[in-house]
Structure 1
Amino acid sequence: MSTTRFSEPPKKHLGQNFLHERTVIDRIVQAVNPKPGDQLVEIGPGQGAITFPLLDRHGRMTVIEFDRDLIAPLTEAARAHGELSVIHRDVLKVDFGELAHDAPEGRIRLVGNLPYNLSSPILFHALEHAPAISDMTFMLQKEVVERMAAGPGSKVYGRLSVMLQAYCTVTPLFTVPPGAFRPPPKVDSAVVRLVPRAADTVGIDDPATFARVVRDAFGQRRKTLRNALSQVCDAAAIEAAGIRPDARAEQVPVADFVRLANSLPR
């Protein structure tokens, strides 16, 4: 008889809010819609709210969990649902490319209810491994999803918007109220799908140069590009790329940032 249970309360320092609302869980599973042969990898499975229904549908998957107190109960509870491989590690130290070695076409599918305090670092970590990922279905703070999908001219359009949209198609799916979690967070959440663009359509010559241009451009939002990018290029280079040097970063479309970065010497 099983004696291992999910007995630990959610840990605030790990940003744990465990999903329990069945209708929300069903919508996430439907959004993922696993197909035969998919290699599913879940970030932060918690108490298995999304894990077990996906296992019921798909039969096998991998999860990455940092909290050692969840490993044993997750492993034991999963036996009734399918084959679960558990990686006990900080997700920021996991090489998604390695996980994709045995996956169809060398790519994995990521899913997860991301901890709010780590959502941006996890997203940037995933970007570094974009060629190894076919798609990502994540739940995050609604405000973060709005930033991810924002267009130029929006007050929330920023570095995260440009970096993600340069490499991925970003599609917000639906909003999730606080009551769907235990304990309920103080903000709404949202589910978003990211699909990495094919490498030959991204059009970025040097990722490091592009990242620096975007980082510096948004480093001080009130500055014009002429001033914000003074350590990267001069006003003539900005103008040569078809961008007004007196514009602010929040007014510049993603494609213009790509064109500017590609025009700079490396």
Structure 2
Amino acid sequence: MFKKRILNSAIVIFFILLISTTSFAKNIIVDVNNLDKGIIRINYSKNTDNMKVLITKDDNQENYDLKLGVNYPLVFGNGEYTISILEHIKGNQYRQVEKETVKLELEDEKDLYLQSTQIVNWNESMLAIKNAKELTKDIKDDEEKIKIIYNYITNNIKYDNEKAYIVQADYIPSIDDTFKFQSGICYDYAVLTAAMLRSLDIPTKLLMGYKSDIEKYHAWNEAYINGKWIIIDTTYDSAYVQNEVPIAMIKDSNEYKVEKTY
């Protein structure tokens, strides 16, 4: 749970303002080398400070801070996407300076949820990822692996109430910090859960929105197992687990309202 919505919020309504009409050759700005995994990178030689990447498909859109060397996920399914580079003008106003299109044709859309992205930014050298491999080194069954990672996080990560009120709108969790300090808000829990499970080749989504009995904006996960997506909420369950109160790991989808998927 956290006080402010993360990533795109009020700034989205200003993205249409001050748009340039310049067009550029296809796939100069957008690196499509890993498009078959559902992710892109941005090649941009100019100063990237305070710039945005806007990803749109049909009526769907998502924006991210522009960073070089990170993966941006195409989360709206197969089809044609427009990738725009936005330059800050003032306040919440941006103008488009570059635009390219890409066509996503994944054979298996679950592959996207195994990748490292700007938000779920993991690699094999991280202590959290090494820990996930160690905890499950003798386990072959994916369902058992999920239970092991779930048990580790709900038993060990403490909820940081103070952080929930001071976190900034552009906050992105550090997997290393969450694992090192063993604390965080729901966003931290969900990113850590996604990273650890993805590193074990278990497709895992990071979801944001609302839970029926929580007023604040919330983050949780879905993991793919036995031919279906199951909901896991390590933040919510940690309070029960750490107080030795029984609670089911798999949640009811009717209790959740999804606004964003990463």
TM-score (norm 2): 0.29
| Rg comparison, structure with higher value | 1
Higher helix fraction: Structure 1 or Structure 2? Answer: 1
Structure with higher RCO (Cα < 8 A, 6+ apart) = 2
TM-score (norm 1): 0.28
